[in-house]
Amino acid sequence: MQREARYRRDLVVSSVGIGWLINHGCQTIACEDIAAATAWNNQVEACKLPV
């Protein structure tokens, strides 16, 4: 389950094209951090999708 969650997070990061997030390790970055970094509502919703 954790692997799927990490893949999902990687997918979200890739979709917004933030390379530095990927470089810092997607597995350590929470959806809230991605949302704060992007400030895009659609990315916030992407993080709320069911696993």
pLDDT in tens, 35-48: 667 665 565 566 66
Average pLDDT, the chain: 61
pLDDT recorded at residue 30? 66
Give the C-alpha separation, 51 to 38, whole Å. Answer: 21
Please give the pLDDT value at position 28.
Answer: 54
Domain containing 19 equals 2-47
pLDDT band at 6 (very low <50, low <70, confident <90, very high): low
Residues 26-35 as b/e (b if ≥16 CB within 10 A, e otherwise) read beebebeebb
8 pLDDT more than 60: yes
Tokens of 4: 């799927």
- Total of domains in the chain: 1
Residues 6+ apart with CB under 8 A from 30: none
Rounded Cα gap, residues 1 and 17, in angstroms: 24
